[in-house]
Structure 1
Amino acid sequence: MPLVTTNRDTLVGQAIAQLREVISSGEWPVGHRIPPESQLASSLDVGRNTIREAVRALAHGGLLEVRQGDGTYVRATSELSGALRTLCGPELREVLEVRRTLEVEAARLAALRRTDSDLAALRKALTARNQASAAISAAAERGEQPDTEALTRAARSDTDFHVAVVRCAGNGMLEELYRGVIETVADSVASTMPDFAGTHDFSHDSLVDAIEARDAEKASREAGDFLDWLIEDTAS
């Protein structure tokens, strides 16, 4: 998404809006180092002070993280997600409990409302998830820790799968709520995946089968049992 020249009025506000759009669209994903002030100022045709104020505002909102001497990185794709990451911190159990609240109902609704095209997209997301997770399972079976790149790829594909389930639910507000916590969800996936890989069936094939069969009760149970296992594991 190219940045366009701003008008001269409310420059900081317009700069904030454009940077936020680039972040929320995924053009700059979480963990991405954004261009330096000079490059952004040139792209938006504004002064560096304007860019500095815009970056400061987005950092205050939790979307960006300024690392002195290193650069500025994308921390979250929305203010809600940024705030939740700050509030939840390392409390993995709380994150998993919130995930359970949203994902169990999403699975139930998905079984009732999914369309054929929804199911095709869900199957595609499941395949990508299982393929990316295979490397994590293989490392666990060898008693090794997965490399960072493989873990990041697996966590991203797992999160994409859960987003696909929520989208199948056909509830716009539920999807917005879930997207608001998506970075926190991804963090919880990355935190738990190395521990349960190879010791628990986390392929989610049964969940998708239940959604395909329009079995709402089984879909809810599959989503809930998996997260219950994770929650219990974090408490032990």
Structure 2
Amino acid sequence: MTPVVDSVAVPPRGHRVRQTIEQLRARILGGEWPVGGRIPTEPQLVAALGVGRNTVREAVRALVHAGVLECRQGSGTYVVSTDELAPVVARRLTDDRMAEVVEVRRAFEVEAARLAALRRTPEDLAALDGALAAREAAWGSGRVADFVEADAALHTAVVAAAHNGMLAELYASVGTALRSTVAQAMGDTLEPERYVDHGRLVEAIRAGDPARAAIEAGAFLEPPSGA
């Protein structure tokens, strides 16, 4: 026998769709459905989430539009990103907008450095030391791609030390843009005149000096942009 559902307890359709979107997003962020993997079929989602087929369809469509999922004809629906902002940023990333990207980096990284100097923990400092050492090693390797990744990892460690979850999420969304500005500044080879020491930034954070940390972070991003 089909159970009787109290109609008063059933939330409005729009609310059900929003809840379903959040459930799908949670499973993606939790790693249950990794990037590159296929999500369950529509009937399976209906059974697992306890909502109607149309609700599932609308929720999936919303995440496809956001750039998190991708429907592939005859194959299924796949996870293509865990971040809804990253595809938007990537679509807007063009050579003639690099100056804007640098300005956004500056807005994030200067404040992150200031907060990191106030909030860093011993674990954060150890992570910063490790990231700084890895950046130096990557520069020594002479490989541009390795240096770009190591530089981005150090800046990400600074943001993590700020202990502001929303700032960390937004910064992660511009990760591709961040790497692009560094790669553009470096060119095809790692030339000595393009090297920018980040040791003073880490030391300012270690010293708990927010004003100096902010100055050091901003200095890297003055036109012409550097790493």
- Max radius of gyration: which structure? 2
Establish whether TM, by shorter chain, passes 0.5: yes
Secondary structure of 2:78's counterpart equals strand
Partner Cα distance (1:67, 1:145) in 2 = 35
Q: 1:43 to 1:183 in 2, by over 3 A?
A: same
Matched, 1:210 2:204: yes
Among residues 185, 192, 216, which one is paired with 1:222 in the alignment? 216
Secondary structure of 2:208's counterpart equals coil
Secondary structure of 2:220's counterpart equals helix
Q: Which residue of 2 aligns with 1:137?
A: 139
Q: Which residue of 2 aligns with 1:33?
A: 36
Is the CA contact 1:136–1:151 (under 8 Å) kept in the aligned structure 2? yes
Q: Could you tell me which amino acid in structure 1 is paired with residue 61 of structure 2?
A: R
Identical-residue share of aligned pairs (%): 30
* TM-score, normalised by the number of residues in structure 2: 0.66
Is the CA contact 1:38–1:48 (under 8 Å) kept in the aligned structure 2? no
1:136 offset after TM fit, Å? 4.3
Is the CA contact 1:107–1:166 (under 8 Å) kept in the aligned structure 2? yes
Partner Cα distance (2:172, 2:149) in 1 = 15
Q: Which residue of 1 aligns with 2:3?
A: none
Partner Cα distance (2:79, 2:36) in 1 = 4
Q: 1:20 to 1:98 in 2, by over 3 A?
A: same
Is the CA contact 1:33–1:72 (under 8 Å) kept in the aligned structure 2? yes
Q: CA RMSD in A?
A: 3.9
Matched, 1:180 2:170: yes
Q: 1:76 to 1:183 in 2, by over 3 A?
A: farther
Q: 1:67 to 1:160 in 2, by over 3 A?
A: farther
Q: Could you tell me which amino acid in structure 1 is paired with residue 128 of structure 2?
A: L
Q: Which residue of 1 aligns with 2:102?
A: 96
Partner Cα distance (2:125, 2:86) in 1 = 30
Among residues 57, 60, 75, which one is paired with 1:55 in the alignment? 60
Partner Cα distance (1:152, 1:46) in 2 = 45
Q: 1:76 to 1:152 in 2, by over 3 A?
A: farther
1:158 offset after TM fit, Å? 3.6
Number of matched residues?
A: 204
Q: Could you tell me which amino acid in structure 2 is paired with residue 227 of structure 1?
A: L
Secondary structure of 1:66's counterpart equals strand
Secondary structure of 1:96's counterpart equals helix
Matched, 1:160 2:156: yes
Q: Could you tell me which amino acid in structure 2 is paired with residue 119 of structure 1?
A: T
Is the CA contact 2:125–2:206 (under 8 Å) kept in the aligned structure 1? no
Structure 1 unaligned spans of 5+:
1-6
Displacement over 6 Å in runs of 4+: none
Secondary structure of 2:63's counterpart equals helix
